Amino acid sequence: MAEKRIAFVASQSADAQASLAALRARYGDAALAEADVVVALGGDGFMLETVHRLIHQDTPIYGMNRGTVGFLMNAYQEDGLHERIARAQPTTLHPLRMVAVDQQGKRHEATAINEVALLRETRQAAHIQISVDGKVRAQELVCDGVLVATPAGSTAYNLSAHGPILPLGSDILALTPISAFRPRRWRGALLPSAAQVGFTVLDPVKRPVSAVADYFEVRDVVDVQVRVDRQVGYTLLFDPDHNLEERILNEQFTP
């Protein structure tokens, strides 16, 4: 079996750049447009950047951790890279599509790998109405914000906001409030991945809200619609002994 053509990309950290130079010297470096696989060197933030950059290219991405958390990354090792990639298990995931309308009536679209989050912009708490598939489910949520997370993103901001960790095969989205004031005891909801979630900002002038799809932010929104985009997919590669499903299980049993 012919060895796969590898393109290397790396974050700007010193460790990532040193690893980039070492791996390029050892394995060469294909152009991104011609590569069979992309090796991303950095942390989870850089992996998100890489996925966004390549999401329409349909090239699998094999991450190696040269950052901090590295939840989406494999362990860094220079030896046997071709063999590791050949054994790696693919996981194909779908992002969220956000459509947001701001106070001027301008429409904004963005893709989110992890989550779409609505966040208050000032000291005033946000007042947000939530609908699912066109039916109002929460008449008024008073909060710092609220988010919709994918299974792959459920261990990121969603987990910090005390949302549930979602197994990859669950075909579920997490709807999680951020510091909810009223209703105080609402802890969020689990939704089928086919659901369309709508947010209407109540009193947007006095209580402005921004919408953030991963790192793309829209200020002063009045309406936000979120759904899974089945027309777009991306593939991550994981070592067999440390795949993403195993990491999600481990995260749920880690003190």
pLDDT at 196: 98
pLDDT at 190: 97
Q: Which of 15, 29, 44, 58 is catalytic?
A: 44
Q: What is the dihedral of CA 62, 64, 68, 71, to 10 degrees?
A: 40
Percent of the chain with pLDDT over 70: 97
Write down all domains in the chain, each with its CATH number in brackets: 6-93+233-252 (3.40.50.10330), 96-228 (2.60.200.30)
239 an active-site residue?
no
pLDDT at 103: 98
User: Residue 243 pLDDT > 80, yes or no?
Assistant: no
User: Residue 143 pLDDT > 80, yes or no?
Assistant: yes
Distance CA 161, CA 150 (A): 14
- State the average pLDDT over residues 55-78: 91
Give the tens place of pLDDT for each residue, 106-120.
999 999 999 999 999
pLDDT at 255: 65
Prediction pTM value: 0.88
Give the tens place of pLDDT for each residue, 117-126.
999 999 999 9
H-helix segments, 127-226: 157-160
Percent of the chain with pLDDT over 90: 82
Among 2-6, 95-99, 139-143, the least confident range: 2-6
- State the average pLDDT over residues 162-185: 91
Element (H or E) spanning 230, and its range? Answer: none
Confidence bin at 248 (pLDDT 50/70/90): confident
pLDDT at 1: 60
User: Residue 240 pLDDT > 80, yes or no?
Assistant: yes
Mean pLDDT of the chain: 93
Confidence bin at 198 (pLDDT 50/70/90): very high
User: Residue 40 pLDDT > 90, yes or no?
Assistant: yes
Closest by CA position to 19, among listed 62, 54, 74, 65: 65
Greater pLDDT, 2 or 91 = 91
Element (H or E) spanning 234, and its range? Answer: strand 234-238
H-helix segments, the chain: 14-27, 44-54, 81-87, 157-160, 244-252
